[in-house]
Amino acid sequence: MSAEQYEIRTINLRRASERNQLKTFLLQENLTLESDLDYAICLMDGDRIIGSGCASGNVLKCIAVDVDYQGQALTNRIISYLRLRGFHEGYSSLFLFTKPGNETVFSELGFFTLAKSPDAILMENRSDGFQIYIDSLKIPDDSMPAASIVMNCNPFTLGHRYLIEKACGENERVHLFVVKEDLSVFPFDQRMSLIQEGCSDLKNLFIHEGRDYIISHATFPTYFIKDSKIINDSYARIDLDLFARRIAPALSITKRYVGEEPFDVVTSRYNQLMKEILPENGVDVVEIPRKSCSDGAVSATKVRKAMADNRYGELKNWVPPTTYDFLLSEEGQKIGEIIKRKALSVAKESEQV
Amino acid sequence: MKIVKTGMAGSLESSDVLITVDSNPGKGRNVNLNSIVKRQYGKQILKVVDETLEQLSVKDAKIRLEDKGALDCTIRARLEAAVYRAAGSESYPWENLT
């Protein structure tokens, strides 16, 4: 039988029957159909799925070929298809998640390994993507030892400010990476400018975009589906491995500051793994207890909650004046409306349950 | 021809080559070859790439080839297509094959 006779079919992920067929196939290959997929193709032998390839934006995953059909270069067909599709969608580079055992298969198809964990690896289809990112940061004298912080700041609060100030006071130079992914209520540009305004007095602070290589859709997808409380160690490990073995050496980072996380399970597990992985690679983890005010620890979650409940007066205690002014501005009010609507729909759902 | 964006052509199937052309302003040509027959035909493939780029007068470009044993004519055709796409060109100088 020649490989050409197998048809490539695009799967409609919204149709339960097609979705379930793919799910069953992946299960048999020891893979799970992840909830963030937006594109999927299957190779078909008649009505039977014999291979699959899926994508979530510019991240390829859930790629498998039935063991009975291996050895016919079907993976090449799947990857060719996904790469052309990625090109037509306008992605400048593609990432790929796979099991460590498949590293050679995909390196022969033009993918380069970025980071590893015991049960997954992350690859990119160009070898210079990471270096281009590092060069774009334009850091003067990157051999100077520095501390680092990674933050989402959704939105920027006095708690964030406290952690940054502490790091800036204890180190000659601090790199702050802001999570680029636009999956938070406050859009990236807004989060970025609130941080810049709120930290303009800190002269040894360098603020950077996190992009694809730091807590992104590519390195740590489950971080963004927190509501589901999925704790997936492999993703957290991949993100931390990339940080420890690529980013830290490139920028002479010797410390990473992190805020204590008493509430969110995903973040607290991430912090726990951080303390395990980073020190092995020469990066110390400094965990700072949360800044507290009269009514407990300051957190961005609390700020959003207050916005949802229309308690704008209380915000002053938790956010710097620059953020406060923004929250009261027209644009800030718009985001407030979005938060209210979200809170309302969550409340309705739980009523129904 | 001036490369203004990413252009891609070909596939990873046997006897084909997947070529990606990117801009590389002012830095000349940077060819990255990955081939299953690099040891046997690496030099020949690079020669075809060089000649084709010369003909198309491409001065600055990053070129990546993932070759699965493509013949010279295939490499040339895929590279031309990728370059035209990367140059954002809509008009092709169609050749007569007879």
Task: Find where tokens 């291996």 sit.
Answer: A70
Residue A310: other Cβ atoms inside 10 A:
9
Is residue B98 included in any domain, yes or no?
A: no
Higher-confidence residue: A221 or A58?
A58
Is residue B19 included in any domain, yes or no?
A: yes
Give the three-state DSSP class for A160: helix
DSSP string for A194-248: HHHHHTTT-TTEEEEE-GGGSSSTTT-GGGGGGGGT---HHHHHHHHHHIIIIIH
Higher-confidence residue: A78 or A263?
A78
Assess B32–A contact: CB distance below 8 Å, yes or no: yes
Please give the angle made by the CA atoms of A164, A257 and A336, to the nearest 5 degrees. 55
The pLDDT tens digits for A19-52 are 999 999 999 998 889 888 999 999 999 999 999 9
Give kind and range of the element (H or E) at residue A124.
strand A120-124
CA distance A44 to chain B (A): 17
Is residue B1 included in any domain, yes or no?
A: no
| Structure-block tokens of residue A152 | 């989402």
Task: Name which of A58, A60, A105, A108 to mutate to probe chain B: the one with the most chain B Cβ atoms within 10 A of its Cβ.
Answer: A108
What phi and psi values does residue A329 have, to the nearest 5 degrees? -70, 170
| A110 → closest Cβ in B6, B13, B18 | B18
Q: A3-127 maps to which CATH number?
A: 3.40.630.30
Encode A156-185: b = buried (16+ Cβ within 10 Å), e = exposed.
Answer: bbbbbbbbbbbbbeebebbbbbbbbbebbb
Q: Which range is least confidently modeled, A215-229, A322-336, B23-37, B61-75?
A: A215-229
d(CA A333, CA A315): 13
Asked if the model's pLDDT at residue A182 lies above 90, the reply is no
d(CA A211, CA A180): 5
Is residue B92 included in any domain, yes or no?
A: no
The pLDDT tens digits for A216-270 are 888 888 777 655 556 678 889 999 999 999 999 999 999 999 998 877 788 888 9
d(CA A45, CA A72): 13
| Structure-block tokens of residue A268 | 């607290």
Assess B50–A contact: CB distance below 8 Å, yes or no: no
Please give the residue range of the domain that contains residue B15: 7-86
Contact A80 B18 (CB under 8 A): yes
Interface confidence, given as ipTM, is 0.78
**What would the mean pLDDT of A115-132 be, rounded to a whole number?**
91
| Structure-block tokens of residue A173 | 């130079």
Quick one: how many helices (H) and strands (E) in chain B?
2, 4
User: Domain spans of chain A?
Assistant: 3-127, 138-352
Asked if the model's pLDDT at residue B96 lies above 80, the reply is no
Question: How many domains would you assign to chain B?
Answer: 1
Average pLDDT, chain A: 90
- B46: CATH: 3.30.230.10
Quick one: how many helices (H) and strands (E) in chain A?
12, 14
State the Rg of chain B over Cα.
13
d(CA A45, CA A50): 6
> What secondary structure letter does DSSP report for A6?
S
Is residue B49 included in any domain, yes or no?
A: yes
Is residue B43 included in any domain, yes or no?
A: yes
What pLDDT was estimated at residue B8?
A: 92
Q: Which CATH class is domain A138-352?
A: alpha beta
Is residue B91 included in any domain, yes or no?
A: no
What phi and psi values does residue B76 have, to the nearest 5 degrees? -60, -50
Is residue B16 included in any domain, yes or no?
A: yes
Same fold, A3-127 and A138-352: no
A216, A209, A217, A219: which is closest to A245 by C-alpha?
A219
